[in-house]
């Protein structure tokens, strides 16, 4: 009797074991890390928003709006500088559509300009005028798109580890697979979650450089980012990032509002020589703050410098200061 080939049986058993893995993970991830804030409904979306402000005295300066980056969420700021910002000003962090707990239709794909328009809808619904936009990484691209799309409306920009130029295709092969109908859905519901759960923490360590990331932040970020719907949205947006930046970047020179660019000298995610430095050259009167031996997530690793530069930028609304290009200690 010839030997029985058990490989198809083994593959079928593995597939059965993995089936629905993504949905199961999403269910328990959302129970472990429930929403921290409230939902603001506008423009056909319900935005997850966290707001902090001093109770006494009431804030008198501009509202600070924090925009998270790639695979991120509201936690990029609630677990770093939002509370400190809220001690003196009204400070808002939100989940961009498709991330965290701001849902969006699964077929949507949003580039920087689309995210800027969504943010404009949110701020209009919240009665926010003349905000200071603080964008990290992908969020910096949203802040730049907002300033170009709505000239005269933002009071100032603070761009942390910005991605601003489409010098390369930022979407990975994994993004392409996840964004593909049917095949991507099957992948996200089966093999993706166990693979990503192993790989993601290593990628996040790359963003922190030589600094150890907070364990609670890594757990929250990983659990929420690898939910199938969240990574599908991330992947579709990443495929629009490069063309979006290529359309925006020739217009940076028309920006006249106060802009502060904060870069880590050792940032391996958005190398400053490819992003922050040319952005500073392209925006007249912008301020460039370079932090030696620092990586990508500066709101975590160098919060005091980031907070100080946000305050300086707010002051620039009424006081003209010379451009700053020297390194920070």
Judged against a pLDDT cut of 50, whether residue 290 lies above it is answered with yes
Distance, in Å, from the CA atom of 58 to the CA atom of 185, rounded to the nearest integer, reads 48
pLDDT, mean of residues 169-194? 92
| Sole residue written with tokens 């932040």 | 217
CATH code at position 113: 3.40.50.1820
Q: Quote the pLDDT of residue 285.
A: 96
Give the pLDDT confidence of 112-150 residue by residue, as tens digits: 999 999 999 999 999 999 999 999 999 999 999 999 999
| pLDDT level of residue 322 (50, 70, 90 thresholds) | very low
pLDDT, mean of residues 45-68? 90
Which has the minimum average pLDDT: 38-47, 201-210, 287-296, 315-324?
315-324
Maximum average pLDDT range among 1-5, 110-114, 192-196: 110-114
Distance, in Å, from the CA atom of 117 to the CA atom of 146, rounded to the nearest integer, reads 7
- Kindly state whether residue 27 falls inside one of the protein's structural domains: no
Share of the chain above pLDDT 90, in %: 76
Q: Could you tell me the residue range of the domain that residue 174 belongs to? A: 37-315
Number of H helices, E strands in the chain: 14, 8
Judged against a pLDDT cut of 90, whether residue 16 lies above it is answered with no
Q: Which residues of 286-305 are buried (b: 16+ CB within 10 A; e: fewer)?
A: bbbbbbeebbbbbbbbbeeb
- Kindly state whether residue 327 falls inside one of the protein's structural domains: no
Judged against a pLDDT cut of 70, whether residue 327 lies above it is answered with no
- Kindly state whether residue 138 falls inside one of the protein's structural domains: yes
- Kindly state whether residue 99 falls inside one of the protein's structural domains: yes
Q: Quote the pLDDT of residue 108.
A: 87
DSSP letters of 226-247?
TSHHHHHHHHHHHHHHHHHHHH
Q: Quote the pLDDT of residue 318.
A: 57
- Kindly state whether residue 2 falls inside one of the protein's structural domains: no
- Kindly state whether residue 134 falls inside one of the protein's structural domains: yes
pLDDT, mean of residues 35-59? 91
Judged against a pLDDT cut of 70, whether residue 72 lies above it is answered with yes
Give the pLDDT confidence of 217-255 residue by residue, as tens digits: 999 999 999 999 999 999 999 999 999 999 999 999 999
Asked if the bond preceding 57 is cis, omega within 30° of 0, the reply is yes
3 state DSSP class of 45? strand
pLDDT, mean of residues 25-45? 94
- Kindly state whether residue 25 falls inside one of the protein's structural domains: no
- Kindly state whether residue 21 falls inside one of the protein's structural domains: no
Judged against a pLDDT cut of 90, whether residue 6 lies above it is answered with no
Structural domain count, the chain: 1
Which has the minimum average pLDDT: 37-46, 157-166, 192-201?
192-201
pLDDT, mean of residues 177-188? 92
Whether the full predicted model's pTM is greater than 0.85, yes or no, is yes
Residue 57 vs residue 164, higher pLDDT: 164
Distance, in Å, from the CA atom of 59 to the CA atom of 159, rounded to the nearest integer, reads 23
Q: Quote the pLDDT of residue 12.
A: 36
Residue 188 vs residue 58, higher pLDDT: 188
Share of the chain above pLDDT 70, in %: 90
| pLDDT level of residue 329 (50, 70, 90 thresholds) | low
Judged against a pLDDT cut of 70, whether residue 319 lies above it is answered with no
Given a contact cutoff of 8 angstroms between Cβ atoms, the answer to whether 75 and 96 are in contact is no
Q: Quote the pLDDT of residue 288.
A: 98
Which has the minimum average pLDDT: 9-18, 144-153, 269-278?
9-18
Judged against a pLDDT cut of 50, whether residue 324 lies above it is answered with no
Q: Quote the pLDDT of residue 187.
A: 92
């Amino acid at each position: 009797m010839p030997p029985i080939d058990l490989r198809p049986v083994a593959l079928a058993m593995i597939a059965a074991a993995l089936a629905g893995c993504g949905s199961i993970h999403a269910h328990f991830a959302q129970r472990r890390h429930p929403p921290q804030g409230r939902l603001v409904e506008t423009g056909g979306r319900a935005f997850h928003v966290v707001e902090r402000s001093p109770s006494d005295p009431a804030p008198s300066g501009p509202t600070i709006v924090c925009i998270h980056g790639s695979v991120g969420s509201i936690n990029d700021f609630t677990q770093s500088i939002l509370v400190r910002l809220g001690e003196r000003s009204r400070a808002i962090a939100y989940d961009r559509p498709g991330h965290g707990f701001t849902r969006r239709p699964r077929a949507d794909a949003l580039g920087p300009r689309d995210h800027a328009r969504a943010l404009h809808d949110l701020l209009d619904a919240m009665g926010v005028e003349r905000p200071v936009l603080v964008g990290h990484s992908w969020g910096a691209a949203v802040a730049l798109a907002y300033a170009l799309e709505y000239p005269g409306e933002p009071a100032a920009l603070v761009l942390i580890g910005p991605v601003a130029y489409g010098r390369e295709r930022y979407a990975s092969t994994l993004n392409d697979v996840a964004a593909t109908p049917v095949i991507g859905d099957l992948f996200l519901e089966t093999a993706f979650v166990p693979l990503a759960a192993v790989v993601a923490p290593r990628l996040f360590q790359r963003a922190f450089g030589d600094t150890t990331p907070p364990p609670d932040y890594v757990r929250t970020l990983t659990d929420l980012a690898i939910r199938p719907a969240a990574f599908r949205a991330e992947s579709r947006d990443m495929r629009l990032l490069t063309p979006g930046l290529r359309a925006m970047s020739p217009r940076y020179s028309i920006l006249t509002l106060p802009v502060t660019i904060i870069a880590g000298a050792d940032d391996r995610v958005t190398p400053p020589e490819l992003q922050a430095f040319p952005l500073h050259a392209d925006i007249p009167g912008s301020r460039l703050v370079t932090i030696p031996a620092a990586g990508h997530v500066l709101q975590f690793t160098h919060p005091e410098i980031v907070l100080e530069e946000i305050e300086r930028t707010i002051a620039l609304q009424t006081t003209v200061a010379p451009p700053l290009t020297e390194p920070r200690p």
